[in-house]
Structure 1
Amino acid sequence: MHVLGARGGVVRLGWLWMGLVLAGASCSLTAGAGAAAGSPVTIRYMYWGGENEQSAVNELIRRFEAANPGIQVKPENTPYPEYGDKIPILLASGAGPDVIMLPPYLLPSLAAAGALAPLDEFIARDTSFRLDDFVVPARSIFRVDGRLYALPREFGPYVLFYNRTMFTQKGLTEPDASWTWETMVAAGHKLTEDRDGDGQMDRYALGGVGWINHYLPFVWQAGGEVVEAKTRQVLIDSPASVRGLQFYADLMLKERINPTYDELLRGRVNIEEWFASDRLAMSYNSRIAVGFYNQFKDLDYDVALLPKGPVSRAMLVDPAAIAIVAGTRQPEAAWRFFKWLVGPEAARLMSTRNLLVPALLSVVRSEAFVNPDVPPRHDLVFVEAMQYGRTVPLIPEWNEVSGVIGQGMLPVLRGQAGAAQATTQMASRIKQILSRPVRK
């Protein structure tokens, strides 16, 4: 899941929790009412997600259908790697679903193609819908040319999970907002141990797995970027981007405070298992990891902001956006289900299942999200992280571009090439991709 901004560039989300906007209101929708007129209708909802997401979606649909007996919802789950390619084809063919989970990097091209229904008229006619309950950027980052095309169900900022037991054992202060790259590395050397002298680490400080969601924040923190989306200028080979990528690789290769890529590939180090068994001190993840870690009753952990880099503090924010497909034959039924998916009941359910961070102020302030009896203690770090949130470049080719970066980083993570050499090759391939006509 990636975020999208109205100007087609990387969104710097700013402080999410300040300011309110009043939503327009009037009468309820009547066009294509279907169920409202008494004849039952079926709408299709297309989304991606694993078992936890599917279970939650099925429960949401069950509750929605009970509250709206004239509307049936057919869920269509599609694996994420295929989703970004499949959605534009379905919508262009006219055989698409009625409501979709939207990979936000597709928003500019789908909006330009007229494939998504603007939400402004729906909102203006529905007095029950509270746009002012959404965090401020949610009301603007999904706009194109002033029109609102989607709203987030939730956000997924990546933060630093840390094992409190390991920090206590080493007499270290727990991570906080003062942490920098240097602070993290210094603490990492104290937390990493080869206990039996066999040359293999028995404990590691960091749990980066060589995934783009893990190293992209370090690029931003160094002042770099992959692609400037508005101008489509390739920046992955800039000195700042190289610095961020090399720093990430050096955590494995030079500092030796993160498992090597080959250790991870061979399965010698399993990040989740090591973290839960006091063998891994820190891991990068979103709130979706909370449900897994809370299964381990003896695990004492908490969360903190990612460390500040040499230029800025930056974190990846990963929202799940919901949109209505233009041309749906059941616009009111689609709108009702859309409202349900982005509404408070859905947000509370997702929060209690530890699925990311709700986009609604009323829910994020409630015990459904912040529960003092359930770890982590500092759940509001996920909220604070949004102040520094950024998104992937909002370009239709992002899936292909990110694949180039992922492949290009493999020799860097294995110590077979430096980031400067690898990014030169990445930049060349990305420029070729971006030189093709933009798919709409």
Structure 2
Amino acid sequence: MQGKHWISALALTVGLVAGSGAFAQTTVRIAWYSDGNEGEVVADLLKRFEAENKDIKVVLDQVPYKAITENLPVQLASGQGPDIARVVDLGGVARYALDMRPYLKDASYWEKNFGPFLPWMRPEGDSSAITGFMTQLTVTGPFVNKTLFEEAGVALPGAKATWEEWGKAAKDVAAKVKAPFPVAMDRSGHRFFSVAISEGAKIFDDKGEPAVIDEGFKRGAKLIYDWHQNGTMAKELWGSVSGTAYRGANDEFRNAQVVMYQSGSWQIAQFDKTVGDAFDWVAVPSPCGASGCSPMPGGAGLVAIKTTKSPEAVAKVMDYLASEPVLSEFYARSLFVPGHLGIAAKGLDYAGATPQGKAALKVFSDQVAQISPAAYKLQGYVNNRVIFNAVISRLGQAISGEGTLDEAFKRIESDIAQQIAERKK
């Protein structure tokens, strides 16, 4: 294949070598980054694949996350790269993706189990390509310090509680136990849209073009703005950075300073390890707005690359990894929310997690069914990063007192239109 030396010097190349034999082998290279132990898990699974398919040799290039986000796009743009890559910028990589449909054993299996996620990995204007699957589905949602609720004598809101009800309860708890942060939320456009979409934000017009500012969006923005004004959210978190900068509240939550933290499923493994038995923490269902209770989806996908010279072998590897038994084991051992509808419906036994971690994983897994079409569409939109950045930058300015909400809305529309126009030049 082209560009077999594409990877940076930092890469750790793991050769998964099949047994010797007097026949030609096809080599399939996979570029893979890890958040946790998933690289070890997939390497183990691929050894089994090679044992069953001695005509295919799989080379797993385990690389830093930065190599995927910065180096890989450059290589792909020059016509080089691996045969398969694990990526998070699904829309950005889609133009380089291989449509595996002609090579797959059963395309209907992929449509049935990965259907909502397939558009995230398709080139713009394509409505049928099957280019990959989700190795990890992330779902936004709140983590709650249950111990603080118990100390305050305040009941946890129920499964269909609204954002306003959660805000009031968290503020009541914080006042009674002297916690500095009733509600914290990642300073992220992605996280904000879990509120806005539940309030009815549609994001796109009938032609599929961005039309971000509508009544649902305004309701979500006003809620977050008001929370910063009345002390439900502390300005010092979002106000500590500016522009498009991200600000999480991981440290504050694990130090028992936050009553409710709106973040997502990717935090489970971290809190399982860092909080320990310091306090009881739980994940709760995504709060509801005027139009529903939808979280925002996200995650990493394993995508086939169209410059491969071995599409049949690539599809065979992908069919194996995407099969229900193999993928179930991968998700369970990696402590990931499944991005496979069939597995999500059946549930998984996460043997490596603590009881708190297992409970949180079940909550987030159950939330997959609540994700709205608008949330899926936004996550799969090729220019979603433009929208996320414009929203968090301008909403952050309003919260910090640098203009009104109405001014922020106008600037968001202007920023999005200008930046998308520049990308299309």
On the 8 A contact 1:192/1:257 being kept in 2, the answer is no
Q: 1:75-154 maps to which residues of 2 (within 5 A)? A: 75=61, 77=63, 79=65, 83=68, 87=72, 89-102=74-87, 103-106=89-92, 110=95, 115-124=96-105, 131=110, 134=113, 137-138=116-117, 144-154=126-136
For normalisation by structure 2, the TM-score amounts to 0.77
1:210 aligns with 2:192: no
* Residue matched to 1:334: 314
Deviation of 1:368 (Å): 3.0
In the alignment, what sits opposite 2:329?
348
Alignment of 1:284-295 (within 5 A): 284-295=262-273
Instruction: Name structure 1 gaps, 5 residues minimum.
Output: 1-34, 196-200
Write the distance in 2 (CA, Å) between the matches of 1:132 and 1:429: 36
Structure 2 Cα separation of the partners of residues 213 and 312 of structure 1: 17
Query: Do residues 300 (structure 1) and 286 (structure 2) align?
Result: no
Confirm whether residue 384 of structure 1 aligns to residue 366 of structure 2.
yes
2:164 maps to 182
Which position in structure 2 is the counterpart of 1:247? 223
Letter of the aligned partner of 1:241 in structure 2? F
Q: Does the 8 A contact of 1:156 with 1:319 survive in 2?
A: yes
| Structure 2 residue aligned with 1:434 | 420
The structure in which a higher percent of residues are helix is 2
Q: Is the 1:46–1:100 Cα contact (8 Å) retained in structure 2?
A: yes
SS in 1 for 2:336: coil
Of structures 1 and 2, the one with the larger relative CO (CA 8 A, separation 6+) is 1
Change (3 A) 1:393 1:428: farther
TM-score (norm 1): 0.74
Q: How far apart are residue 326 of structure 1 and its match?
A: 1.8
Instruction: Measure, in 2, the Cα distance between the counterparts of 1:284 and 1:357.
Output: 20
* Larger displacement relative to structure 2 (172-181 or 45-54): 45-54
> What is the letter of the counterpart of residue 76 of structure 2?
L
In 2: Cα distance, 1:388 partner to 1:438 partner: 34
Matched letter for residue 104 of structure 2? I
For the structure 1 residues 293 and 438, does the alpha-carbon distance in structure 2 shift closer, same or farther, using more than 3 Å as the test? same
Q: Distance in 2 between matches of 1:40 and 1:65?
A: 11
Q: How do 1:358-369 and structure 2 match up within 5 A?
A: 358-359=339-340, 361-362=342-343, 365-369=346-350
CA distance in 1, matches of 2:190, 2:167: 20
Question: Identical aligned pairs, as a percentage?
Answer: 15
The one-letter code sitting in structure 1 at the alignment partner of 2:28 is: I
Contact kept, 8 Å, 1:153 with 1:359, in 2: the verdict is no
Coordinate RMSD, CA, aligned: 3.7
1:84–1:399 contact (8 Å) kept in structure 2:
no
Q: CA deviation at 1:190?
A: 0.9
Among 252, 261, 265, the alignment partner of 2:237 is 261
